[in-house]
Structure 1
């Protein structure tokens, strides 16, 4: 069968019969870019700006004379990232009097779920996105613009960041802006008042969780209404139980999902599920984070963006984190997740010179200094960014990422988008509803994986 030309067609053609047993609501909510499934082709396309000036073939050097309007599609709909982006744009426009930027903000999940329709319709000149497989997918499909010339002379970006921004053809399609670690977050004041200590092993975590229950707390805040947050817990457990190398191989479709190693992940997760907030499928990550902020929960396995639900100042200063505990002493805890966020350019932007000028700015220390000040949940990717004003949480994040031996990007970025959205989101949500039937669950995942990865 010839490979479909778009992710929407790709996803629609690859959903196997075995996937039909999962709830349609979960499937539709999780399907990234599945336009043929979601039937909302104009939702994001309508956000494209039609007032940008035209430009053709502008190199990095030619962007110095860029003028007109650049449209920017953003998934930063939460208050903190939205304010941070606006601050960066204000600074950019002040320094570039001939350029203006029109920001089109869309709900985060809606943006992700409809990205394919968006890119095939009338996309903005520049749009927010992520590094990893999903960046490479759209580049390979011709739905993203080559910004290799913008990367020329980018000495403030590491080789690793450049590699994370490079498509399968060796060209750059992504400009990193910020990243952040996933870990176990908690409030220092609550732990101090209760005498809690950071758990080093999973057994320590279980013991701590039992004490938190006695103290009237939900040990682990948990919300998976949007489908993706629970992937982080799977990733942490898989890297602790089976190693980083196995995790990467599993995400690449090279391992047997029905094997004992994957069963061990789900069985271990099942054992600690009683420590999690109940009814997680009806709760967003923001609502779960608010229970941590309100000291109703003791911990939360999430990205550092959990800080967005805490007021700046004393509340955010009270937030701390530790690495997910050790499960196997032979594997340890030297693997973490630290996703990279940034920006891409549309394949045929209306204002290419302006778009590249803006992308170059996003990769600068000046822009990132503003971002991390406005949103203390993230850290800059530029090596020359000013860290002197970092909060304690940001400083710890920098050291946490720097000290890690292995760094993954997150399940829905490290594997194929169709597998993550149409298989793993409903599979994990099915597990959270009925965690007792692991054998049939992993068999179903493996059957669907074979259909998708061998196509």
Structure 2
């Protein structure tokens, strides 16, 4: 998982999001990133590929550096690494791509990728995909494809979201994995009677509740509606979104109280201590279970609408794009093809075993139990979503979605007012 230095979750902070919005509106970015690339006709040396890196924390930075050194050894090319602090990279990306970006650069699949591809700011990777497509499941290709049907990103690593629990606690109390929403309600009722908070919940950081919304929306309304809603093509005041919040309202009494004052790490600790029964989060939650990793397990969010079953999994994908006019197009294509290989991805994962290789050809024998489960869940999914803030306009995520979800948690009886506010903001943002 690509993480920001300020938070272990791969989500831009609200301040950073607002800065990114300003950058998108044409406000100058802080100098640095945009000036370092050789792309956009920058005339980089033909034996060198420039690489825009957002892995600024030391462990992942060392890991990606080792991967690129391996590429140098295999290809005979040199890689010039341009590393920027993670949030700063995000804030400057718009100006960076319009200036002289690096030949190959770090970014995210889904809406974030499509946004720049459809502006014509990144390079078409369809030729590379024609060589590497057999190494990816259809859902990953879908998440790397823009509206023109072409691919603009090579997936590298990813991690799924799910309902986490401690096997020992469930075995002791006789709990079984729920397959449907009604089964999860029955299980939650039993957990509450047993003195547990059925569903650990935290919303102080503003983003965890987005995960709950996503799960409910694509379980109820399906993948395509969810993607269209995130893109501003569906009505936030419509009956389908209303059903999502009505369903959440039914589940809210089973969630840990006072979520707006709790960080996700605290919610994870309540699960680790056996005070909560389940917790919806990404596999990075394992950071809070040192010494108990093998006791940690998860299951995909239960079925709600049989038409869609459990066909969609939230599994953010980090990968690499190519600049529109790389200084070394042949070298860039070779590097991107290399980054699609199991060897490159597994070498990186030695530094972060909370996520998995995007390639379906990766040898999973060295994975821990959580990674093996993550790989299985992703492989079985028909569709992959990225997480609300990656699948929609960042202005909507940072303001309307965050404030709307927080308001709902505070007052779930005021759904109509909340949805009107979200719908009004969506109309403003997506019609500009």
- Displacement of 1:135 in angstroms is 0.7
Q: Quote the Cα distance in structure 2 between the aligned partners of 1:276 and 1:298.
A: 10
Q: Quote the Cα distance in structure 2 between the aligned partners of 1:436 and 1:113.
A: 37
1:275 aligns with 2:254: yes
Q: Is the 8 A contact 2:265 2:288 kept in 1?
A: yes
Alignment of 1:22-61 (within 5 A): 28=15, 30-31=17-18, 33-35=20-22, 41-43=28-30, 45-47=31-33, 50=36
Q: Is the 8 A contact 1:46 1:122 kept in 2?
A: no
The change in CA–CA distance for 1:268 and 1:243 in structure 2 (over 3 A counts) is same
What per-residue deviation string (whole Å, max 9, x for no partner) do you get for residues 85-110 of structure 1?
A: 34433533454565245362524x55
Partner of 1:12: none
Q: Quote the Cα distance in structure 2 between the aligned partners of 1:281 and 1:28.
A: 18
Q: Is the 8 A contact 1:28 1:37 kept in 2?
A: no
Q: Quote the Cα distance in structure 2 between the aligned partners of 1:248 and 1:347.
A: 26
The change in CA–CA distance for 1:192 and 1:48 in structure 2 (over 3 A counts) is farther
- Displacement of 1:233 in angstroms is 0.7
Q: Is the 8 A contact 1:53 1:67 kept in 2?
A: no
Q: Is the 8 A contact 2:37 2:52 kept in 1?
A: no
Q: Quote the Cα distance in structure 1 between the aligned partners of 2:78 and 2:97.
A: 23
SS of 2:178's partner is coil
Counterpart selection for 1:336 from 306, 313, 317: 313
- Displacement of 1:439 in angstroms is 0.5
Partner of 1:396: 373
Q: Is the 8 A contact 1:29 1:226 kept in 2?
A: no
1:223 aligns with 2:209: no
The change in CA–CA distance for 1:357 and 1:34 in structure 2 (over 3 A counts) is same
Q: Is the 8 A contact 2:165 2:279 kept in 1?
A: yes
1:235 aligns with 2:214: yes
The change in CA–CA distance for 1:196 and 1:66 in structure 2 (over 3 A counts) is farther
Q: Quote the Cα distance in structure 2 between the aligned partners of 1:95 and 1:336.
A: 35
Partner of 1:115: 93
Q: Which runs of 5+ in 1 are unaligned?
A: 1-25, 59-64
Alignment of 1:68-147 (within 5 A): 68=48, 70-75=50-55, 77=57, 81=60, 84-95=63-74, 98-102=77-81, 104-107=83-86, 111-120=89-98, 123-147=101-125
RMSD between aligned residues: 3.8
Q: Quote the Cα distance in structure 1 between the aligned partners of 2:389 and 2:255.
A: 22
Partner of 2:230: 251
Q: Which runs of 5+ in 2 are unaligned?
A: 1-12
What per-residue deviation string (whole Å, max 9, x for no partner) do you get for residues 22-47 of structure 1?
A: xxxx965654721259999545x424
TM-score (norm 2): 0.80
Q: Quote the Cα distance in structure 1 between the aligned partners of 2:261 and 2:88.
A: 18
The change in CA–CA distance for 1:254 and 1:50 in structure 2 (over 3 A counts) is closer
Partner of 2:299: 322
Aligned residues: 419
Deviates more, 1:330-339 or 1:261-270: 330-339
- Displacement of 1:70 in angstroms is 3.1
Q: Quote the Cα distance in structure 1 between the aligned partners of 2:195 and 2:358.
A: 40
Partner of 1:201: 180
Deviates more, 1:96-105 or 1:387-396: 96-105
Q: Quote the Cα distance in structure 2 between the aligned partners of 1:390 and 1:202.
A: 30
SS of 1:144's partner is coil
- Displacement of 1:216 in angstroms is 5.3
Partner of 1:304: 283
SS of 1:154's partner is helix
Q: Quote the Cα distance in structure 2 between the aligned partners of 1:283 and 1:113.
A: 27
Deviates more, 1:400-409 or 1:285-294: 285-294
1:376 aligns with 2:363: no
Q: Quote the Cα distance in structure 2 between the aligned partners of 1:426 and 1:113.
A: 21
What per-residue deviation string (whole Å, max 9, x for no partner) do you get for residues 59-100 of structure 1?
A: xxxxxx953473432157496x55653443353345456524
Partner of 2:9: none
Counterpart selection for 1:67 from 47, 50, 53: 47
What per-residue deviation string (whole Å, max 9, x for no partner) do you get for residues 281-308 of structure 1?
A: 4544445444434544332212223234
- Displacement of 1:138 in angstroms is 0.9
Counterpart selection for 1:449 from 420, 426, 430: 426
Q: Quote the Cα distance in structure 2 between the aligned partners of 1:294 and 1:30.
A: 34
- Displacement of 1:419 in angstroms is 3.4
- Displacement of 1:408 in angstroms is 3.2
What per-residue deviation string (whole Å, max 9, x for no partner) do you get for residues 2-25 of structure 1?
A: xxxxxxxxxxxxxxxxxxxxxxxx
The change in CA–CA distance for 1:278 and 1:352 in structure 2 (over 3 A counts) is farther
SS of 1:324's partner is coil
Q: Quote the Cα distance in structure 1 between the aligned partners of 2:106 and 2:310.
A: 31
